[in-house]
Structure 1
Amino acid sequence: MDPIPSGTLWSPPPTAPMLAVPGPLPVPDSGWAFETKWDGVRCIATTTGDGSVRLASRAGNDITVSYPELQALGRELRGRGVVLDGEIVALDASGHSDFGLLQSRMGVVDPRRAGRLALGCPAHLMIFDVMYLDGLGLLSATYGERREILSALGLTGAHWSAPPNVHGRGSQVWDAVVREGLEGVVAKRLSSPYLPGTRSAHWRKTKRVETLDVVIGGWTQRRGAATGVPGAVLVGVAGPAGLRYAGSVGSGMSEREQGELAAYFAVIARASSPFTDRVDVAGAHWVEPRLVAEVTASEWTRAGRLRHPVWQRLRPDLTRLG
């Protein structure tokens, strides 16, 4: 693609981000590129050439005030009308995105408070696509072409960067992600156009999950179901002082499993919590910690809770009902 000449001030059209579908890594992978999946807030960054930048969330909400440190990106692109796609993250000491850190920055609408938070927990914009440059639309350009244009912009700053991608070698990228404990991989077809607001099979996300055994110590009632039928279970893991609370798991349970658990809970009910730490869950019912379940989760939060836990199965081989 020929270089695009620098333009003047322009009024960009609203642009919703293109979305990936969940799935396994593509095989064969020669026509694909692979990127790290960042755990943060999706962001469309728009500059009109006057030195300012507007940040919009995936839903189109204006989040510019929340991240004042990203205003310098507009000054770097002064004189150019650009629309970029990326992910706002907060990085921990090892350079990994930490959603727990970012949560303190989200939804802040007071400029002074946002400025104070930026000093203690700075945000970083991971830029992985460009939809407009100097007012010219790039939506019909291929992903490979758009990445070349993005790379030529040289967007590297204290609070933003365009991380590299890898052509082919998807299994090697996956091995590196697992080894480093990152969230996952996004595979993008090199020939794909940018499809705003569309969840397309041209982009595929594969998340790394952890599988672990947890002990059920309580449950909450399922809405609209008969009394005693759980909608979620409260689970824990062994800690130095006993059973440590690890979170609530409701996603993934079938009606059959909920009925099976209800029968167990009626037998092993108890009056007080079996967890050593406080569990602040409304309407919690407690049970003796005898049932063991297998769950998956994306990671542990800083508070020691499972993030995005999903029920897999009851482990009768590890359950102690006697």
Structure 2
Amino acid sequence: VKYRPLADEAKSIEAESFIIEGETIVTDEAGLSDFHTLRSAITRRPQDLYLVAFDLLHLNGHDLRDMPLKDRREILQAVVPAGGHIQFSEALPGTGEAVYHLACEAGLEGIVSKRLDSLYRSGSTMNWRKIKCYVEKEMDIIGVKRETGKPAMVLMADKGHYMGGAFVTFKADKRQDLWDRVQGKVGAPPPKGLAKEKAEWLKPGLVGRVKFLKGEEKLRHASLKGFREEE
């Protein structure tokens, strides 16, 4: 029901049966994929969704997974009508590293890449990768978690909004410098809504530079890259 407009459009594909692999997206005013509004669009604006198709696994009862990717995509391009909400994903020329850099610079969530000669295999494989972009940003360090047997984490807030935790992976001397600064700020009350978190809460004044996955509402795969005292 949520994807009814895309399901209805799929009926225009001239095939008896097919299995397409792709990503559902919604675009912003600039025409770029907007991960932040995707969830609400699925339930409230399904007519704005696009399916970006990049692989074809089955067609009219035939299993295509043992064909090289370039051949599967050639058939996919011929099958998908142009100009609709189900779109063929054009390949970008150049090296994967350059394409990834350009995607991140353009504000995109990341890239999907596949080897042109690869056969399709389910499960974990190096023949295709989904690589997300990371960003770095300064946020307030409002707490720390230092539990025995677990990696240390700092808890972050951005303009008063709790963002979650980032792992502390510094070497011993830099890590000790962080703990020395933390010690002078321990003793703040738990922020509203976070009383159940097992953490040491800090008084304001310590800022951290965090690297984290782009396009997420909370910190994911985040690590602390640096820290400073507010002047």
Query: Following TM superposition, where does structure 1 have runs of at least 4 consecutive aligned residues deviating by more than 6 angstroms?
Result: 254-260
RMSD of the TM alignment (CA)? 3.4
- Would you say 1:249 and 2:165 are equivalent positions? yes
List aligned pairs for 1:1-322, cutoff 5 A: 65-77=1-13, 79-104=15-40, 114=43, 117-118=44-45, 122-196=48-122, 198-219=123-144, 222=147, 225=148, 232-237=153-158, 243-245=159-161, 247-251=163-167, 253=169, 264-272=181-189, 280-284=193-197, 285-299=200-214, 305-308=217-220, 310-315=222-227, 318-319=228-229
TM superposition shift of 1:91: 1.9
How many pairs align?
228
Counterpart amino acid of 2:205? R
Deviation sequence 1:189-223 (CA, Å, 0-9, x none)? 11100112x2211123443211233321234575x
Calculate percent identity across the aligned residue pairs.
Answer: 25
Cα distance in structure 1, aligned partners of 2:146 and 2:82? 50
Counterpart amino acid of 1:297? F
Is residue 66–residue 105 contact of structure 1 (8 Å, CA) maintained in 2?
no
Counterpart amino acid of 1:139? R
Match of 1:54 in 2: none
Cα distance in structure 2, aligned partners of 1:162 and 1:272? 53
Deviation sequence 1:146-199 (CA, Å, 0-9, x none)? 111111113335422112003444454334313311122333211100112x22
Deviation sequence 1:38-94 (CA, Å, 0-9, x none)? xxxxxxxxxxxxxxxxxxxxxxxxxxx321111223321365211110111222222
User: TM-score under structure 1 normalisation?
Assistant: 0.59
Cα distance in structure 1, aligned partners of 2:125 and 2:193? 39
Distance 1:180 1:259, change over 3 A: same
Cα distance in structure 1, aligned partners of 2:59 and 2:95? 30
TM superposition shift of 1:255: 11
Q: What SS does the aligned partner of 2:11 have?
A: helix
Q: What SS does the aligned partner of 1:97 have?
A: coil
Is residue 14–residue 79 contact of structure 2 (8 Å, CA) maintained in 1?
no
Structure 1 unaligned blocks of 5 or more? 1-64, 107-113, 238-242
Structure 2 unaligned blocks of 5 or more? none
Cα distance in structure 2, aligned partners of 1:155 and 1:71? 14
User: TM-score under structure 2 normalisation?
Assistant: 0.78
